[in-house]
A and B are shown apart, each in its own frame.
Chain A
């Protein structure tokens, strides 16, 4: 498959380039555009980005490899990053992870056959107060996970809807 940016993408890229005195800083935002367009930035996409920006391929590769948020291979439509770091682990993060594994019929790091879900085990996402939690495709956090909440989430995502951002008040503000 040959990857190509659309006209709108290219216009956006020009706009991003104009923000910086040099081209190099545009690498990060343009990689985002690419990932939003193709769902991943595999070596072919990296090549496209390098070519579009006129940067060395090695440089784009190095930047893409540095950040885990850029997917270097094709992933499912939704990437579920389940946190199993200390707080989540204590509050049942592994239970959630294993429940999802059983529910989706895959192991962590794998993608479902229909290409809907990729399941990852990740380190702390900085939401220890709302443990256990997971993140959907570098975006929404789903907090205070229970098995029911996970079921609901999977249903919502299967329908093609995103869960939306949750608003959680701080304990000291709960009565306000």
Chain B
């Protein structure tokens, strides 16, 4: 097997590799700015310099030539090489900054050059704390600068597009953003203008950077040149917790990170998953943080004399059960939701099964033609396939209207059917409507009983995306009934760890008074004396996996290990049964 010697250690490899990626995959480090594993390699930041060579072999004897000390002689490349674009070759000898003074010097001097015109904005810069330039200057950079002349000033606060602001001074011209629009989003909206120390990225005159994926350039910008209009100046990165999650605004199910501070989700960034979204996500998915924070339903609501009033959980559960008892199970319609997780839908289905109510129905939320074939799908809901695999009856607009007409009690899970135009107020006239929902909407306003439930940011639950891949979320936000310090799966940031109830950065208001669907269902069931206990997503998924064929073998641990599991689609299942 071919081998490469890096810093005196030998590594075997197979296939083709670029040196920088190879070194990174070994868990070692070489500093860099412009390289990005998903894009072309321009090698223009010149930061990943390493020394590369080959052992000298004596032609006659075929042995390594040795120097006076008995060490193998290396024939080095006449100049240092950029690790990002050099191919790993058999017998290659590499010295990185860890072993070579020349490489250390080159990287240090390159940083000094990059920093000549870089403003000292760090104290007010959004990128500070997650800035490759800051981190690498700290690790490999010079202690001072020899350039005492005035820095070149470039435009600040250019609104490139509706969501991205440019600070040209901070730009180090790595061209990651322009390459992103050329190679990934393919809109070609950005270019580098001017040259020398005056250049920076910009759109063509008269156009704006309204790319549907524009905020990815903010993520890949290795400095604070591109910042998000929305997130700008909202929080310092070290104050926030980073919790993995799944994009719930779209059927694609992009893997995301939720950034929370004091139980508010402040921003959403993509999380790498090579099988789903690579390093990217659409801008629309990042807006979802508002769903987790704003307009939330806290405490149950009950309609009294035509007006919704806050109620207690005991009252809500009693009303819920009274309505079920008072209605013939034939006249009860349970509507599941492609917007809710597999576990939530399953809990509801299990409950209705025990009561002899028909299997829940659901209405897919698909807007034909709204997808782009990349990371935006026609499907507006994160779990349409999950409902299908649970065996829910898929109804179109016409048939749901019919089903509603026949029912007198409607239990609706997390789906704003009125807001998305499936049902109208008239359809619900004279019906008792129970809505389990996360946010206030036109639909919840009409409900006779509103049960506040947890969002994807508050429960661990799984979603099956358009490609039938099941992926799960983690608890990022506390509710009134969860506690970050007791829940080992929740991430705990600095403010959470060292804060007390008497600190001004810890507030109770941001904790919503809501329950996971399965908790509510369990409580309702136990009030009825039913033997049904659903404690948390992990346990429910085990139950689903053991009872439902499509989910066989699925559990949280496997999902975590493989970043989601590809399930067989309905049609594939049918075909396998036939065979």
Measured CB to CB, the residues of A under 8 A from B are: 43, 46-47, 50, 56-62, 65-66
**Is B190 in the interface zone, CB < 8 Å from A?**
yes
Q: Can you offer 30 A-B residue contacts whose CB atoms are under 8 A?
A: A43-B205, A43-B206, A46-B204, A47-B206, A50-B204, A56-B188, A56-B189, A56-B204, A57-B204, A57-B207, A58-B178, A58-B189, A58-B190, A58-B191, A58-B203, A58-B204, A58-B207, A59-B188, A59-B191, A60-B204, A61-B191, A61-B202, A61-B204, A61-B205, A62-B192, A62-B193, A65-B193, A65-B194, A65-B195, A66-B195
The answer for the CA separation of A94 and B205 in the assembled complex, in Å, is 35
Interface of A is mostly: helix
Number of A-B contacts (CB under 8 A): 39
Q: Which of B188, B190, B205 has the most CB of A within 10 A?
A: B205
A92 to chain B, nearest CB (A): 28
Find chain B residues with CB under 8 A from A46 CB: 204-205
Find chain A residues with CB under 8 A from B178 CB: 58
The answer for the CA separation of A43 and B195 in the assembled complex, in Å, is 18
**Are A43 and B194 touching (Cβ within 8 A)?**
no
Interface flags, B180-203, vs A, CB<8A=1, else 0? 010000001111111100000011
Find chain A residues with CB under 8 A from B190 CB: 58
Instruction: Answer whether A66 and B194 are a contact pair too, CB < 8 Å, given A56-B188, A58-B189, A59-B188.
Output: yes
Q: Which residue of A lies closest to B204 (CB)?
A: A57
Find chain A residues with CB under 8 A from B188 CB: 56, 58-59
The answer for the CA separation of A66 and B205 in the assembled complex, in Å, is 15
Q: Which of B189, B190, B191 has the most CB of A within 10 A?
A: B191
Find chain B residues with CB under 8 A from A62 CB: 191-193
Find chain A residues with CB under 8 A from B207 CB: 57-58
Find chain A residues with CB under 8 A from B202 CB: 61
The answer for the CA separation of A1 and B189 in the assembled complex, in Å, is 25
Find chain B residues with CB under 8 A from A59 CB: 188, 191
The answer for the CA separation of A59 and B192 in the assembled complex, in Å, is 8
The answer for the CA separation of A62 and B181 in the assembled complex, in Å, is 14
Q: 4 nearest interchain CB pairs?
A: A62-B191, A56-B188, A57-B204, A43-B205
Tell me the B187-246 residues at the A interface (CB within 8 Å): 188-195, 202-207
B108 to chain A, nearest CB (A): 30
Find chain B residues with CB under 8 A from A61 CB: 191, 193, 202, 204-205
The answer for the CA separation of A115 and B192 in the assembled complex, in Å, is 31
B494 to chain A, nearest CB (A): 41
A114 to chain B, nearest CB (A): 28
Tell me the B491-524 residues at the A interface (CB within 8 Å): none
The answer for the CA separation of A61 and B191 in the assembled complex, in Å, is 8
A71 to chain B, nearest CB (A): 15
B213 to chain A, nearest CB (A): 15
